[in-house]
Amino acid sequence: MPTIVFLGAGSVVFTRQLATDLLRFPDLPTLTLVLHDVDAERLEVARGTVENIAAQLGKAVEIRASLDRSEALAGADFAINMIQVGGIAATRVDLELPARRGLRQTIGDTTGVGGVFRALRTFPVLSGIAADMRELCPEAIFLNYTNPMAMNVWWMSVVAPEIRTYGLCHSVYWTVHDLCELVGVPVEGTHYRAAGVNHQAWLMEWSRDGEDLYPRLRERIAADPELQRRVRVEILRRIGYYPTETSEHSAEYLDWFLRSDAQIERFRLKPLEYIGISEDNVREFEQARGILAEGGDLPLHDADDAAEYAPQIIHSLLTGTAREIHVNVPNTGLIAELPEGAAVEVPATVDGSGVHPETWGALPPAGAALNRTYLSVADLTVRAMLDGDPELVRRAVLLDANASSTLTPDEIWDLCDELTAAHAAFLPTSLGGTLAGTS
């Protein structure tokens, strides 16, 4: 009986989506779904969520829940990671402390100062997960959803290169889905492929029945002045290819957008937006808890909206079904213009024999240049944790385009001091925190 572990299962909306997609496959064997979280209340709601889904879909499934990570991982075949170290409180710190100094972020979970400190909180937990997997389920596949994706996949490749790790993100799928709706073609039957870095990959191929759909997109943009106020449209205009993450995210990866009130107004941006999104997630958890407490059924997404790659990978490996997805993996010559070893996002085929990332051709030169800046921040963050060097943390933030467009080096150093103090419980002593171990 295949065993799938959900790490951070208290993210119950995401747990609901993944479990629903898995249990909707009619040709999978009976599964064991093991739920783990450090919050007992959230874990109990996660258990109730999966039980409710199985009942609605009429599927037999073994469900276990444990607050003990080692117990949860014992004998696993797949481990799906969706932890958020520090929860919404840490997210508020990542966004609000920089904002007090004038540094504006929209999401703050991927790169920049928010992404750097989110990574530094997450790396020690990833190291602990890797140690448990090495001992308890060394053949298991690690499927990571936790941001910052590029940093976390890079970290796992360094501390646990023997663990098969794949970073998964739905951004490519939903980018194409939304663009197809914009130009009036169905996404089904559309050929699309992207390459680059997670949240800053480039839609390199997008066609239907042999027709390149980029000209249709450009015509649609030219006819609508409001579309020209989208961050991603501006990036397309300047770089030549469409990026695969939302405008809200994309705005903070560059120094073009959040540096002034005029640009924020022009591109309709909402600094600190992720705080509201996080609060919505808390409300969704509370709604799910209430529905389950009253004995009701949780709403399930439509089968046509099954965009997550983890269930697809598991299905392909267990049934031999071949499909193409996009994955984040270490760069072993996959993209020549990007640093070796860095985590890159590329197309991959998956079947009964495994996940097979594709070696990509050339990226657009300007796109590759932006990717390298993004990866430089990730590189220094990984090195900071490996070396226990707090100066590298500050240099990573200094290299971030958005941070350096707003703050002086002195201000960046001071801000990192503040964030280190605020997140001390999650950071190792070598970086100025109070965390003694790495697990």
Rounded distance between C-alpha atoms, residue 357 and residue 246, angstroms: 24
Per-position DSSP letters for 128-187, written without gaps between them = HHHHHHHHH-TTPEEEE-PSSHHHHHHHHHHH-TTSEEEE--SHHHHHHHHHHHHHT--S
Q: Can you tell me whether residue 361 is helix, strand or coil? A: coil
Residues noted as catalytic: 170
Rounded distance between C-alpha atoms, residue 273 and residue 257, angstroms: 15
Give the closest residue to 195 by CA, choosing from 328, 377, 24.
Answer: 328
In 10 A of CB 304, how many CB atoms?
8
Beta 200-208 vs 31-36: how paired, if at all? Answer: unpaired
Rounded distance between C-alpha atoms, residue 65 and residue 48, angstroms: 10
Place of tokens 């022009």: 266
Residue 315 neighbours by CB under 8 Å, 6+ apart: 22, 25, 27, 28, 321
* Structure-block tokens of residue 252: 């903070």
Rounded distance between C-alpha atoms, residue 346 and residue 169, angstroms: 11
Rounded distance between C-alpha atoms, residue 128 and residue 134, angstroms: 10
Amino acid at 17: Q
Q: What are phi and psi of 200, to 5 degrees?
A: -145, 40
Give the closest residue to 104 by CA, choosing from 231, 254, 281, 280.
Answer: 254
Rounded distance between C-alpha atoms, residue 289 and residue 302, angstroms: 21
